[in-house]
Amino acid sequence: MWSVQDQRLSARSAFISDSMEKIGTTLTQHIWQEQKTHPQSRGSLSELLYEIALVCKIISREVNKAGIAEIYGLTGEVNVQGEEVQKLDEFTQNIFVNILGHCGHLCALASEEEEGIVNLSKEKELGDYVMLFDPLDGSSNIDANVSVGTIFSIYKRVTKKGPGTMEDLMQAGNKQVAAGYVIYGSSTMFVYSTGNGVYGFTLDPTIGEFLLTHENITMPDKVKNYSTNERDYHSWPEGIRKYIDEIKKEGKVSARYIGSLVADIHRTLLYGGVFLYPSTEKNPNGKLRLLYEANIMAFLIEQAGGRASNGQKNILEIEPSELHQRVPLYIGNKEEVKKIEDFLH
Ligand code: AHG
Ligand code: MN
Ligand code: MN
């Protein structure tokens, strides 16, 4: 005969084991499992990814209460891109530099929001990796409560010691050891790859954990949407106008454009389709930045079976020449991107 105490304990352990099944894999566990596939790894990249996830949880909290916390709106400053700096841009930039700068796993950091290399020379401990990031992507959408995101790209340093240099930061996208984004939308999702598939984790704010919800994401074959800002139609290359004209004439592919790269790519990755930010007469290299926007999306899309091109070549093969260089971006279903490249030739 079980005592009341025994019955309570067995009910409790049944509940815990049941809820543990429901929790599934956390981001931390997944990163650790990925690390175990590299026996020689000392865990530095894993710890760097944990720190990034921590920063993005803090950003998620701030984005989700920005209106209350009065950090919506403009700071009145203009950044190196000549764009108005949103308060949240500044907040996210600072928190990344403060937490990642001290984590001891980086020897250099570069951001959309800073002209040059973020100076880590006063750090007591420098690491073997460099990170380039867009702390808040789509920030012009913040005040309209439209999804925004964070984008990050990680490389192994190529110089031997001391503070990282431009040589460490300006490597081709196919040298990335890890890349990902966080989308702050109806839920907060962490999407990343270390070259072994793309995995999506949804934040459960009640326990502060990112939980695996999208295992080994693979792009659907069907081209569901095309995504581009048609404002520039008349100044696109003729091949792009012809491509979009053909899509519209067939009338089978829906137009979807949010204006936040992270949100537009997240939808393209999950639903299938193409995203285009072409060159224009005014901006022959388009608007998007190679090192902390295009390269990351290209890495992820390729891992999911898609393709990313600047119209001539694979984005990941471009050897960077400057930190904030822009690049035309055609990205999504592999066959569709190849079709766009054909239209351009
Ligand atoms: P950011 O907010 O980091 O400057 O990035 C904005 C980018 C990108 O998120 C988006 O795809 C693109 O700007 C939208 O540009 P248009 O407004 O010209 O369409
Ligand atoms: Mn951006
Ligand atoms: Mn940005």
Q: CB–CB of 341/312 below 8 Å?
A: yes
Does residue 271 surpass a pLDDT of 80? yes
Section 128-137 average pLDDT:
97
Domains of the chain: 25-214 (3.30.540.10), 225-344 (3.40.190.80)
Percent of the chain's residues with pLDDT above 90: 76
- The most confident of the ranges 92-96, 103-107, 226-230 is 226-230
pLDDT of residue 71: 54
- In the reported structure, the alpha carbon of residue 28 is separated from the centroid of ligand 3 by a whole-number distance in angstroms of 26
Question: 21 pLDDT band (50/70/90 cuts)?
Answer: low
User: Does the C-beta of 93 come closer than 6 Å to ligand 1?
Assistant: no
User: Does the C-beta of 260 come closer than 6 Å to ligand 1?
Assistant: yes
Average pLDDT, the chain: 91
Which residue's CA is the nearest one to ligand 1's atom 18? Answer: 229
Q: Which atom of ligand 1 is nearest to the CA of 81?
A: 4
Section 114-143 average pLDDT:
89
pLDDT of residue 11: 72
* Residue 122: Cβ within 10 Å count: 7
Which residue's CA is the nearest one to ligand 1's atom 16? Answer: 259
The number of residues in the chain equals 345
pLDDT of residue 165: 94
Section 115-119 average pLDDT:
90
- In the reported structure, the alpha carbon of residue 23 is separated from the centroid of ligand 2 by a whole-number distance in angstroms of 32
Does residue 273 surpass a pLDDT of 70? yes
More confident residue, 110 or 87: 110
- In the reported structure, the alpha carbon of residue 260 is separated from the centroid of ligand 1 by a whole-number distance in angstroms of 6
Question: 3 pLDDT band (50/70/90 cuts)?
Answer: confident
What is the spatial distance between Cα 211 and Cα 54, in angstroms, rounded to a whole number? 14
Ligand index nearest the alpha carbon of residue 296: 2
Residues contacting 291, CB < 8 A, separation 6+:
110, 132, 153, 169, 170, 320, 323, 324, 325
Does residue 231 surpass a pLDDT of 80? yes
Q: Which atom of ligand 1 is nearest to the CA of 232?
A: 18
Does residue 120 surpass a pLDDT of 90? no
Ligand index nearest the alpha carbon of residue 280: 1
pLDDT of residue 70: 54
Whole-number Cα distances in Å, 136 to 189, 200, 263: 14, 19, 12
DSSP string, 31-45: HHHHHHTSTT--SHH
Which residue's CA is the nearest one to ligand 1's atom 6? Answer: 138
DSSP string, 60-119: HHHHTTTTTTT--SEEEEE-TTSPEEEHHHHHHHHHHHHHHHTSSSEEEEEETT-SS-B-
Q: CB–CB of 267/278 below 8 Å?
A: no
pLDDT of residue 238: 98
Question: 86 pLDDT band (50/70/90 cuts)?
Answer: low
- In the reported structure, the alpha carbon of residue 257 is separated from the centroid of ligand 2 by a whole-number distance in angstroms of 15
More confident residue, 76 or 280: 280
pLDDT of residue 1: 67
